[in-house]
A = this chain, B = another copy of it.
Amino acid sequence: MKPLNPAFAVELRTSFSEQTVMTLIGARLSKVEAGHVEIELPYRTDLTQQYGYLHAGIVTTIADSACGYAAYTLMPPHSQVLSVEFKVNLLRPAKGDLFRAQADVIKAGKTLTVVRADVTATSSDDEPTLVATMLATIICLRQE
């Protein structure tokens, strides 16, 4: 997968910094490559559902941004990305110290790009555990 926009990484980082919700929840962009983006989120007690696990909506927040930006890496200059839809399967309770959403483009198209993201949880020295998987459709709009 070849990037069409040589400045994609710089522009993506600027765009990420404008997603104010990422600052609110404490998420950071941890990897940016053509067709692949990772976002990390340390656990916080103010991000949970009623049993103390990370809320599925917050799992979705980092997975959705990872998917949108993974699509962005393969788009031409002056593109805007918007999520059309996504499906998330929550595979295990989202407990752990660090969550990581890893998104990979499955099919890049002119208008629509399909992206998959896995979200893992890591606790202390354990191996990461898969807690959720997303399948998303992203649309590319040309900026005026």
Contacts and interface: CB of A to CB of B under 8 A. Distances in A.
Interface in A75-98: 80, 82-93
Describe A's contact surface by its main secondary structure: mixed
Interface string A109-140: 00110101000000000000010010101010
A10 interface: no
Contacts of A18: 49-50
Number of copies: 4
A5 interface: no
A93 to B, nearest CB: 8
A54 to B, nearest CB: 8
A71 B118 CA distance: 20
A62 interface: yes
A106 interface: yes
Interface of A: 15-16, 18-21, 23-25, 45-51, 55-58, 60-65, 80, 82-93, 106-107, 111-112, 114, 116, 130, 133, 135, 137, 139
**4 nearest A-B pairs in the assembled complex, by CB-CB distance:** A57-B61, A87-B87, A18-B50, A85-B89
